[in-house]
Amino acid sequence: MHDLVIRNGTIVDGTGRARFTGDVAIDDGRLSAVGDVPGRGRREIDAKDRVVAPGWVDIHTHYDGQVTWDPMMTPSSWHGVTTVVMGNCGVGFAPVRPGQEDFLIELMEGVEDIPGTALHEGIDWQWEPLPQYLDALEKMPRVLDVAAQVPHCSIRAYVLGDRAHDLEVNDREIVEMAQLTQDALRAGAFGFTTSRTVLHRSKHGLVPGTYSKPEELLALGRTLGKVGRGVFEMVADSLGGGGDAEWIGQFCRETRRPITFALAQTPNDPTGYRTTLERASEMENAGEHLVPQVPCRPTGMLYGLQSSFHPLIAHPTYQRLAHLPLAERVARLRDPETRAGLLSEKAQIQDPVALGLLSNWSQIFPLGDPPDYEPPREASAAATAEREGRAPEAVVLDWMLERDGTQLLFAPLLNYVDCDFEALREMMLHPRSLLGLSDGGAHCGLICDAGMPTFLLTYWVRDRTRGPRIPLEQAVRLQTGNTARVYGLEDRGVLAVGKRADLNVIDLDAMHLHAPEMVFDLPASGRRLVQRADGYVATVVGGEVTFEHGEPTGRLPGKLVRAGAGAAR
Ligand SMILES: [Zn+2]
């Protein structure tokens, strides 16, 4: 008698091979048979006409704080994610010295837009070096598996103290930072992460390490080579080229470890991403692993009356109303006189970058419900305003007042230069690229991409009409077998005997991605955008059913995953 049998499903096993009809048996938290299971299960799930796939492995999240207080790990867990990798982009909460907690919170708040008050109230600091953080995480039950990485900012703060932002570091300090990194990797961290973008700032300016010199990055990166596992992750402006190309090349040659960074189609160089993809292919031929990381929809912001940013937020009339509860604000904004006053004003904002963003009318669209992430050019605020002979400000105001003021506007920053997904598709399907950048747990007031795994199925596999779709087998592999393999999560990501029993049973026809919505459920009533989904018949983690038809079962089988421990069993 098996612990659990999933019967008669359409098995898409995460390797990319063609789907087949069959059963899956689970015993002791592992897959004990895939294909034909003659024996019965203590419990059986009928998966006829349902897709059975590995649990999603999301390698780019920022749950480092939430993981310490929220066993449910939403919104990712609502979307069939069974493993998350945290500690990306150089920010995290370990190592930490007593007294530095506020500083690390300010970095996370500045870079990832997670309410500082929520982090203050939520985190119970029971650790200093990163191995102690891992031990603390290991003691907490939760609904899915978590994996940590070593954040450069925290390493710098720990070793350099008040000088965390300094460019100059001495040899002794570099050795100390490398030792800490190596100890953390040996304790089970899955990688080392850093930020090299001018976009990641806190109230202290650019985050620590943004301009760190090659010798520092190489010294820390070499620890991955010494330990023989782990990924170097960074967020960078240069797409892995520019001034970084040289040390990245050296890192890859010396360590043979993968380095991954966000790749995007940018408005000022719409075809530049191809150069990076070509370079990744060339390097792979030499046994070096440059891994461009790409999302499955444009990286963009969600403007709305409840968001932290929208096109009218700096208008004096709006600012006078900004403190009002939503319903009252909506009523006032509908008042003809208030509206006329508001629309006669200009945004009181000096920063040209911010001003450019909030008046980028040709890249602002109503998201709608169900949400449309690939709207045509004609749907933009600019095109609508021109067609209707109105000011774009008036158009976006009307949009934001829809759905009782909860309508969100989609403002793609990257990957939407041509107002379609063709550049994205080229990047996603490139053999060297890695699907990521959901930023789960982060950007609470402006972005909500933790539901991208669901979007990959509903839109790319099933619904897309504006261009080619992606075959189911390939889509599943992109967020299971592929992500798990690059991160060395060898015990998961495919449905094969002996692998950890993490999987999803999916009703693909009924699958539905809801519009994102703002909720106020973080500690200290902090706000965050969340997005829900239908169609997950069951999600299984470590052999236990964690969600059934969208409802949590109360089981919390999730574990801390340690790199190098028990993999490939
Ligand atoms: Zn990130």
Cβ neighbours for 207, distance < 8 A, ≥ 6 positions apart: 90, 91, 107, 110, 111, 153, 195, 200, 201
Largest CA distance in the chain: 73
Cβ atoms of residues 149 and 94 within 8 Å:
no
pTM: 0.95
Interval between CA 441 and ligand 1 midpoint (Å): 10
Split at pLDDT 50, 70, 90, the class of 138 is: very high
- Distance from Cα 19 to the centre of ligand 1, integer Å: 33
Tokens representing residue 165 in the block: 């932002």
For 169-201, give the secondary structure using H, E and C. Answer: CCHHHHHHHHHHHHHHHHCCCCEEEEEECCCCE
How many whole angstroms separate alpha carbon 424 and alpha carbon 447? 18
Helix (H, G, I), strand (E, B) or coil at 44: strand
Least confident of 74-88, 111-125, 273-287, 503-517: 111-125
Distance 440 CA to ligand 1 centre (A): 9
Residues above pLDDT 90, as percent of the chain: 86
CA distance to 50, 302, 372, 505, 534, per residue, from 514 (Å) = 20, 14, 11, 19, 8
Distance 320 CA to ligand 1 centre (A): 34
Measured in residues, the chain has a length of 569
- Mean pLDDT of all residues belonging to the chain: 94
pLDDT of residue 239: 62
Q: Predicted confidence band at 567 (pLDDT cuts at 50, 70, 90)?
A: very low
Q: What would the mean pLDDT of 235-249 be, rounded to a whole number?
A: 79
DSSP-assigned states of every residue in 45-60: EE-TT-EEEEPEEE--
DSSP per position, 127-179? -SSHHHHHHHHHHS-BSSEEE--EEHHHHHHHHHGGGTT-S---HHHHHHHHH
Q: What is the pLDDT of residue 205?
A: 82
Determine the distance separating the centroid of ligand 1 and the alpha carbon of 112, expressed in angstroms. 7
**Ligand 1 centroid vs 90 CA: distance in angstroms?**
8
Dist. CA 213 → ligand 1 center (Å)? 21
* Rounded distance from Cα 285 to ligand 1 centre (Å): 28
Which two structure tokens, joined as six digits, stand for 272? Answer: 């530049």
Task: Mention every residue, 6+ apart, whose C-beta is less than 8 A from residue 349.
Answer: 314, 355, 358
Summarize pLDDT for 31-44 with one digit per residue, the tens: 999 999 999 999 99
Spatial separation of the C-alpha atoms in residues 538 and 500, rounded to whole Å:
16
Alpha carbon of 535 to ligand 1 centroid (Å):
27
Residue 99 predicted with pLDDT over 50: yes
What is the 524 CA–ligand 1 centroid distance (Å)?
Answer: 24
Say which DSSP state 296 is in: S
In angstroms, what is the span from residue 487 Cα to ligand 1's centroid?
Answer: 16
Amino acid at 437: L
- Residue 297 Cα to ligand 1 midpoint, Å, equals 15
CB-CB neighbours of 423 under 10 Å: 21
User: How many angstroms separate the alpha carbon of residue 113 from the centre of ligand 1?
Assistant: 11
The residues near 245 (Cβ < 8 Å, ≥ 6 apart) are 238
Q: 283 C-alpha vs ligand 1 centroid, how far in Å? A: 24
Task: Quickly state the pLDDT bin for 241 (edges 50, 70, 90).
Answer: low
The Å distance, Cα 533 to ligand 1 centre, comes to 23
Half-sphere exposure of 341 (CA within 13 A, CB side): 13
User: Which residue(s) pair with 292 in the sheet?
Assistant: 261
Distance 518 CA to ligand 1 centre (A): 21
Ligand 1 centroid – CA 49 distance (Å): 36
Mind giving me the DSSP string for 17-40?
PPPEEEEEEEETTEEEEEE---S-
Read off the pLDDT of each residue in 352-373 and give the average, rounded to a whole number.
Answer: 92
CA of 485 to the centre of ligand 1 (A): 20
CB 85 within 8 A of CB 61: yes
pLDDT at 95 over 80: yes
CA of 114 to the centre of ligand 1 (A): 12
Count each helix (H run) and each strand (E run) in the chain, helices first.
Answer: 18, 27
- Cα–ligand 1 centroid distance for 419 (angstroms): 24
C-beta atoms surrounding 362 within 10 Å: 12
Beta bridge partners of 567: none
Q: Is the pLDDT of residue 192 over 60?
A: yes
Distance 108 CA to ligand 1 centre (A): 10
**What pLDDT score does 144 carry?**
98
Q: Return the bridge partners of 2, or none.
A: 41
Ligand 1 center–CA 390 separation, angstroms: 38
